[in-house]
Amino acid sequence: MGSLEEWLRQTVTKTKSQTEEPMAQEVGNWVEIRLFISSTFVDTQAERDVLVKRVIPSINRKMADRFIRIVPVDLRWGVLAEESKDCHTIQKTCLNQVDKCRLTPQQTPWFLGLRTSRYGWVQNDMMPSHGFENPDLFKWIDEFASSGRTGVSITSLECIHAVQNPSKMLSSPTVFFYQRNIDEGPLEEQYIEKNMRWVFDFEYKEADEEIPEDSKYQYSKTEEALKFSNDLTNLNKYLQDIPHVKWNEFEVGYEHGGAKFTCKREGAKSFGVGYTSSLEAFEDQVEKDLIEAIQENFKSDSSSINDFQMETVQHENAIRLKASTFVGRTALVEDCTVHCETSVDDRNVMILHGEPGCGKSGLLAAVTHGVTKPSRESGNFVFIHVVDSCPGSNVLEQMLRRLQWALRDFRRSNGEINISSDPPQSASDLRAEHHNFLTATAEKYPNKRFLIVVDAVNQFHEGMKAWDMWWLPRKETTSNVRCMISTLNKENGTFDNAQEACPDAVLTPVLQMSDDDLEGMVSATLARFNKKLTTYDDSLLGNQMEVLLSKSASPLYLIACCEALRKFGIFERVSQYIKDFPTTITELFSFLLDDWSKEYGKMFVEDVAGLICCSKDGLLENEINDLLAFKEERDRGDEEYLYDSSFSRIYDSLASFLAAGGGGYLRFFHDQLKYTVKDKFLNDEFALETNQWLSDFFFSCTESQLCEEPEEDPAAYYEHVLQQLVYHQLKATPKSDKLTALDSTLRNIYFVRERILYRQTQDLMDEYELAIKRCSKNHVNLEISTALTQWMKFVQMYAAKIEEFPQFARNMAVTQAPTSWVTKDTNKLDTPPSKVGYPLIWENIPAGEDTMVCKYTSGGMDVAASTPSGDVVAIAAGDEALILDQSSGEIQHRLKTSSYSVALSPDYERVYSGGSDGISVWDVGTGSKIAETGEDFKMDDVVVWIQHIGSFIATGTGHARKAICWDGHNTSGGISLFPVDHSDILVPSKKWDVGAPCYDYCYLSCREWIFAANKGELRGFGLGGDEVIKLTGAGRCCYAVASHPTEPTILSGSNDLVIREWNVDSQTLVRTITDTTSSGWAFGGNWSVNYDPTGCYVLSTEPQSQSLRLYTFEGNLVDEMKGHADCINKIKIVPGTQQALTTDRGGVTLLFNIPNPEDGVPKAGQDIDEKVFWTGFSKDGNFLFTISNEAIRKWNAKSLELLISKEFDGFYRTKGFLTCDEKWVYGSGRVGVTRFSFEDLSVGGYLEVLPDADGSLSDFSVTSDGSKLLGAECKNMNSESSYAFVYDISDFDAAEEINKYDKYGGRMFACDTHSDNMRGVVSGHKGTHVFTLTTCEVLFSIPRGCFWVCFLELSNRLAYSDGDSVYVCDVESGEDVLKLEGHNEEVHGGALVREETEIYTSSGDGTVKLFDLEKEECIYTFFNHRAQQYTKVGVSPCGEKVAAGNENGMLYVLKSGNYQ
């Protein structure tokens, strides 16, 4: 008969093959390589684990960007014991699986064989070829059987089948064999225990061969043992010589205890497994071989397309796949097609809705597939999104960003090359721009259709308020925009919300399919697997189709049955199998779960199903594998294993019921399966345990990253881990327990940093809200609730800066108030070592609680808020109105309308906006316009006040610039009342003239009167329009008016900085409060006033301090809340809280907690609480000097104790200078310089530098020898006549002008003198000029410059600011040598340290930065949310301390923990 090797060479590999070019892969289409792993089982546990748990996940991560993934086919547990007794069944199971690992029938499979000393299960009866799924591939087995050969192991048959010569040979082998050698050490030190050697030995013995007593049941005695041994050797020789096979050998070790019994029996065969060790080389070799094969056999150029195009391909592939099995429903298809292809009416949106499994997605796919190609060929726009079809597809933000990109790409392809191709980056900007950009695009191309299709909207993740359906086209969208969505009737409220957002939507219920359509669907689905059912009364099988359709008319049910039938292999029992199917989808899924439990093990199925069911939004396959291994490692005992923790073995059964199976997050696509799993497995205890398992695992993945500088790379799925962790921490904590688990996440600055870096800020904010809500229900969590609220506030205000400067996140956390939980929690963490010069610690941080709650990056003329539960803030920003999330500050909608006043309806569902073109009403949820004033509504001014009063919307008109307009403003204000009804055109039912120019209004509810503030008086009107009261003596111009919450009193604020309270019943002035600021500005005064929520205190603001002040009725200043850098326009109270909103003209709105004066407001003794324009340190660093607009002060730099203070008449351009000999400190006023004694700040003289008062002294410098003073001028009117003056001050009392630099020609803002006492420099609007002090000869000029300039004495260079950058040039040639970038607003000051190798800079962007001049990079940034625009910065000579003045009226004294 000859050897097996001879027969194989003559029979199996005799055909010739044609070599193929590498397979072309369509970009974006996932290629799934099924890799069959062949070996005997008991002795290759370690190798298989390495392959399944390490090699394949590693390759999948590396190949993800090429859309290629490997799915291991590992049948260790895929063949039941009963199957192993039936040769035909086991051959059919294993060899059919080998064929499923071929990409095409003509190619070799992807096959990996582990060759060891064991032979495998012997097959004594061969299945004929016609019994396999692909009979043509099994002709060799017929010849094998006809040659009389039997007794070959199933492992050998797998290998023989895999290496047949294919008709088409691939570029690189896809069949791999690895022969193992175990290094056991010297003979006398055999590592494998004697009683366990059977695990790794050849398992057959001759009948007369002796076997040790302790192993006699572990070997099989047979007369064919020698034959089997020879077959094993001969097959290996044969495999090594095949050209299209890759053969390798590898060596492993063995450690004591690696082989163990899994089931030990007395007097019978026991079962066990063996694990080898030292597999690193094997792991590396296999990964190298597989990656090489993938790269050689697939060619794909993905460089030409971007991520959005990649996503688009996947969504359109999903539509094609779903459409491929759709049949029937002709009328529905026609109706949907008409909607998509025509603009027959203004109803933009069609909603396909129905019960689960009714066929909505198939219908939508069929319609979309049919209209896409002809629509695009006609130049129309088509956008398709299938939720859960690919990674991230269930995230609304990702869909909207891709839609924005697609619209921009469409416009660019139509010639608009100047439009940016990049969509907005932040979720807030994306949301705000969504509707406006879609509408603008559709209006620009009225002859084009814009079709947007979204399948399964109910499966969106809830982030970005996706379920509210606000993102659907608005009512006002043009009719050439068509939208079709599908949703369940009840899931997540999406159907009801879609109807509310689009009341005119076309509702299309998807009901029961006809029997013919159902039959066609079943036939088409089974045909994909080469299977079919009888459709007639067969004498043996009956009418299988009729029986199946009688069970249920649900498409989902029938598709699930098809999936079960696909795997059912006993032809004669198919009919009975169909009869056994339950009649409901829930029972069917339970039936399938029972089937899987029998096949894979009940505990394994429970764990896998529980993980997927409990997961927040799905799990990656790698995650599931690692989760199972994590539990295996954690829960197993010394001698037992829970189960084979490889998810791949059940993947094929679950795949059809999982969403995003192609490389994405696996979750149950149909909720019925999820509900069935919950009912069947997830009792409360198991759900809690599973969530704890997920929580523990996810935290283990993050733990190494939660430090200052992580030393190891995170898990490949780390981003997803971050999104899941907190959710499972909350789910794993019983509701009665304390939420201490959050200490490691929501109260950990490094976890916060990671979430922000991975663009999960909004998700993080949502988690804070969820956790705080959870805490509020349990008194044991009240302190935790307070801490989480403070952390949430921190994230809201710091997210942008942490994203920009993640390395300084910890530093930002510890600069919160000392009482803040953010500071306290962070100080509990290990303190990282300081670098030279940083981080900087805010030394004089106010000791009291920080009153600022939230910072909104929008501001303007007016603001309104809901209660916290309503979570809405509306801002009038002049050219637009904005709707924001109150807690997170995220912009929800930008309303394109003129807006100078805003209000909210009592239910907080509508925003009223008033502007230059009347008023408009907007839906808070969708951002769509509900109503507006018509063209007939006329007014002379803008609407500066709007309020919902009973059944009316009340408005008042005034000048657009409000307070900055009283000089010469004579247009009379007017009041209008608009009925609150459902009309889309607002018409006033009452309108009257106030009789004087107006600036503000208020409504006194207890009297139902409206008050108008105008020039020097207040006028009150009833709702009928009659004037009921006039209060005079309110100052020359009354800017603001506010009503008491319950009493008949009102407040007024005027330009004279006097706040007045009036009793309207007695028409008397009750009291006055004189504001503490003395403003020299013509338009200064109290721009806004209000009562606090209790009505017991007064709130006010004025433009000089830019702060919110709290006064008692006696006029005592209780507190001053800072944070604004520009004039506050309006103060509004947040309903139901002790909070106030302030909005400024610089584009910032702040939310403050109003302190309760009765609680006391702790103040820090070290606070330097004033607007400081200049700071300077003595040479020894012991003293700090500051100059504000009111005083010059000397401080102990160590303790910050105030030593001396002298009055000084400064202004906003005041500068200072400390002479080199430390005898004098100079301070500049508007036109001159005063010098003060270094010791006691006694005045040592005054020099008037500028000859007239048209300009101001913007900067000055004194030469190092003290002999000359250079002053730079900034003229207001004749800016081109701004000069630099040089004075001889060797005798200060007799100082005289010796020169004037008149060649600059523009406003100057900065100057300096060189240490040679001969050269000077000025900088400003006309660049930077260097000249001689004696002759004013220009040495060189640079066209850049502005607010800061400084000579670098040691390196003979010059540093100067220009916009947000700092340049350094050579002082001789004027050539720039370096540029420092990092700020995003004007640089206002700088200070050199460490021998001029580093420089601290201060900027209008609210940061102080440290730059390395040698590396030309920013190495540190200090940011605090209370800081706004920094003025100048000073540094102690050793670099120990930095002092920086800020426009918010605070001086930041910062101390370096490590300095040189």
> Tell me: the pLDDT tens digits for 761-814?
888 998 998 999 888 887 778 899 999 999 999 998 899 889 988 999 999 999
Using 50, 70 and 90 to split pLDDT, how confident is the model at 80? very low
Overall average pLDDT of the 310-324 stretch: 83
How many contiguous H segments (helices) and E segments (strands) does the chain have? 31, 79
Using 50, 70 and 90 to split pLDDT, how confident is the model at 1083? low
Overall average pLDDT of the 153-171 stretch: 89
Overall average pLDDT of the 1015-1024 stretch: 92
- The residue among 559 and 531 whose pLDDT is bigger is 559
Grouping H, G, I as helix, E, B as strand and the rest as coil, residue 1210 is coil
Q: Rounded CA gap, 82 and 74, in Å?
A: 18
Tell me what pLDDT residue 304 has.
63
The 1202-1207 sheet, strands edge to edge: 1172-1177, 1183-1188, 1191-1196, 1202-1207
Mean pLDDT over the full length of the chain: 87
In sequence order, the β-bridge partners of residue 416 are none
pLDDT tens across 593-652, in order? Answer: 888 888 778 888 899 999 988 988 788 878 888 898 888 877 765 555 666 667 766 776
Checking if the pLDDT of 1163 tops 50, the result is: no
Grouping H, G, I as helix, E, B as strand and the rest as coil, residue 714 is coil
pLDDT tens across 1100-1112, in order? Answer: 998 878 889 999 9
What token pair was written down for 498?
């879609």
Q: Rounded CA gap, 620 and 701, in Å?
A: 14
Q: Compute CA distances 1310 → 548, 1361, 1368, whole Å.
A: 88, 10, 15
**Region of poorest pLDDT, from 71-85, 592-606, 895-909:** 71-85
Tell me what pLDDT residue 444 has.
94
Q: Which amino acid is at 874?
A: A
Name the DSSP letter for residue 478.
Answer: -
Tell me what pLDDT residue 969 has.
63
Tell me what pLDDT residue 1337 has.
95
Tell me what pLDDT residue 76 has.
52
HSE (side-chain half, CA atoms, 13 Å) at 265 = 10
Q: Compute CA distances 326 → 31, 728, 919, 1180, whole Å.
A: 24, 39, 50, 84
Overall average pLDDT of the 1144-1156 stretch: 91
Tell me what pLDDT residue 60 has.
81
Overall average pLDDT of the 743-751 stretch: 96
Checking if the pLDDT of 1078 tops 90, the result is: no
**Region of poorest pLDDT, from 521-535, 949-963, 977-991, 1040-1054:** 521-535
Q: What are phi and psi of 1401, to 5 degrees?
A: -125, 150
C-alpha of 242 from chain center? 52
Checking if the pLDDT of 1276 tops 90, the result is: no
- The residue among 486 and 171 whose pLDDT is bigger is 486
**Region of poorest pLDDT, from 4-13, 248-257, 822-831, 926-935:** 4-13
Tell me what pLDDT residue 78 has.
38
What token pair was written down for 1339?
């040495």
Tell me what pLDDT residue 664 has.
60
pLDDT tens across 1282-1313, in order? Answer: 999 999 999 999 999 999 999 999 999 999 99
What's the length of the chain? Answer: 1460
What token pair was written down for 1400?
């601290």
C-alpha of 995 from chain center? 53
Tell me what pLDDT residue 1187 has.
93
Tell me what pLDDT residue 661 has.
39
pLDDT tens across 464-515, in order? Answer: 889 999 999 988 788 899 999 999 988 889 999 999 899 999 999 988 878 8
Using 50, 70 and 90 to split pLDDT, how confident is the model at 1162? very low
Using 50, 70 and 90 to split pLDDT, how confident is the model at 28? low
- The residue among 77 and 951 whose pLDDT is bigger is 951
Tell me what pLDDT residue 83 has.
43
Q: Rounded CA gap, 1375 and 1043, in Å?
A: 63
Q: Compute CA distances 946 → 163, 551, 913, whole Å.
A: 82, 63, 7
Q: Rounded CA gap, 227 and 235, in Å?
A: 12
Overall average pLDDT of the 1054-1071 stretch: 94
Checking if the pLDDT of 1215 tops 90, the result is: yes
Overall average pLDDT of the 334-348 stretch: 87
Checking if the pLDDT of 1385 tops 80, the result is: yes
Region of 762 (left: φ > 0; alpha: ψ -120 to 50; beta: rest) is alpha
pLDDT tens across 861-890, in order? Answer: 999 999 988 889 999 999 999 999 888 888
pLDDT above 90 covers a percentage of the chain that reads: 48
DSSP 303-367: TTS-HHHHHHHHHHHHHHHHHTT----HHHHHHHHHHHH---SS--EEEEEESTTSSHHHHHHHH
pLDDT tens across 686-705, in order? Answer: 999 999 999 999 999 999 99
Q: Rounded CA gap, 917 and 940, in Å?
A: 10
Q: What is the CA angle 894-895-898, rounded to 5? A: 125
Q: What are phi and psi of 1288, to 5 degrees?
A: -85, 115
Using 50, 70 and 90 to split pLDDT, how confident is the model at 390? confident
pLDDT tens across 544-583, in order? Answer: 899 999 988 888 888 888 878 866 655 557 788 889 999 9
Checking if the pLDDT of 1082 tops 80, the result is: no
Checking if the pLDDT of 920 tops 50, the result is: yes
Checking if the pLDDT of 41 tops 50, the result is: yes
Using 50, 70 and 90 to split pLDDT, how confident is the model at 449? very high
Checking if the pLDDT of 724 tops 70, the result is: yes
